[in-house]
Amino acid sequence: MAIRRKSALTVADARVELGGNLVLDGVDLSAATGEAVAIMGDNGVGKSTLLRGLAGLQRLDSGEIDVLGGGPPRDDAAFWGDVVLVADEPGWYPGLTVEEHLGLVQAVYGETRMTAADALATFDLRARADVAPLNLSTGQRQRLSLAMALLRPSRLLLLDEPERGLDAGFRPRLGEILRGYTAAGGTVVMATHDQGLAESAGARLVRLSEGRAVAR
Ligand SMILES: Nc1ncnc2c1ncn2[C@@H]1O[C@H](COP(=O)(O)OP(=O)(O)OP(=O)(O)O)[C@@H](O)[C@H]1O
């Protein structure tokens, strides 16, 4: 008998118009608790817009969203305590090293999913621990963004093109890290152009086409 997993999020008939274009045109999406979902599709089909909608950073013109059973996304501490969005590069703290950025996350959250030292190792940043993030390469900065996101406790990870800047060797590692996150009960929704990464993360593929989800 199939085990029915609890819903982590649902999007029903989402419509978003931007600059006179209907970017999302009746999109449905769902993810179960402990599931990874990869949203794929051509440039401009609305993947980032959908993720921003899930994070509450893009208002829907119509449609419904439920995130973690709490209704629509809310810009409050409880929501952001459960949800992590990794999209554009974050602002870095001037004067703090890579290791200190991770230490800061650990200090703020107290109980983290791993130690800052483990995060440095997991995201291959040990050799760059003492430099400022702005002195990292693009891919190393992306690894630091992901390390900070995976270090802190959360229930839902929203990742916009997490493969950005990552070399071919690290992408399967990221897939394994995301598998570990879902195995521990977390839910992942990512927009990606890398089907290999999606598969290594064990993600269900959802294709967006002209603002519609055509397979899920
Ligand atoms: N602020 C905005 N005003 C008007 N149009 C916008 C705005 N932001 C995005 N768009 C348009 O909305 C559409 C969807 O953009 P979105 O970034 O969601 O696509 P995407 O699928 O994530 O693309 P990519 O694969 O290139 O990251 C694009 O046609 C884009 O030009």
Per-residue confidence (pLDDT) for residue 189, from 0 to 100: 98
Rounded distance from Cα 50 to ligand 1 centre (Å)? 10
pLDDT band at 120; cut points 50, 70, 90 = very high
Determine the Cα angle at 184 with ends 76 and 149, to 5°: 45
Q: How far is the CA of 46 from the centre of ligand 1 (A)?
A: 6
Right CATH for 7-93+155-215 from 3.40.50.300, 3.40.50.720, 3.30.540.10, 3.20.20.70 = 3.40.50.300
48 lines ligand 1 (CB under 6 A): yes
Q: How far are the Cα atoms of 75, 157, 168 from residue 107, in angstroms, in the given order?
A: 23, 20, 32
Pocket test of ligand 1: the residue of 16, 47, 206, 212 to mutate, having most ligand atoms within 8 Å of its CB, is 47
Instruction: Give domain limits for the chain.
Output: 7-93+155-215
Is residue 23 lining ligand 1, measured as CB closer than 6 Å? yes
Report the nearest-CA residue for atom 17 of ligand 1. 48
The tens digit of pLDDT for each residue in 82-119 reads 999 999 999 999 999 999 999 999 999 999 999 999 99
Rounded to whole angstroms, the Cα distance separating 115 from 134 reads: 23
208 contact partners, CB below 8 Å, separation of at least 6: 27, 39, 40, 41, 45, 46, 47, 50, 214
Q: How confident is the model at residue 216 (pLDDT cuts 50, 70, 90)?
A: very low
- Which residue spans within the chain are E strands per DSSP? 7-18, 21-32, 36-40, 62-67, 83-86, 156-160, 187-191, 204-209, 212-215
Pocket lining: 87 vs ligand 1, CB cutoff 6 Å: no
- Band the pLDDT of 215: cuts 50, 70, 90: very low
Q: Does position 155 have pLDDT exceeding 50, yes or no?
A: yes
Please list the residues that pair with 83 across neighbouring strands. 156
- Is the minimum distance from the CB of 211 to ligand 1 under 6 angstroms? no
143 confidence band (pLDDT: 50, 70, 90):
very high
Is the distance from the beta carbon of residue 18 to the nearest atom of ligand 1 less than 6 Å?
yes
49 lines ligand 1 (CB under 6 A): yes
> Contact, 83 vs 55, CB < 8 A?
yes
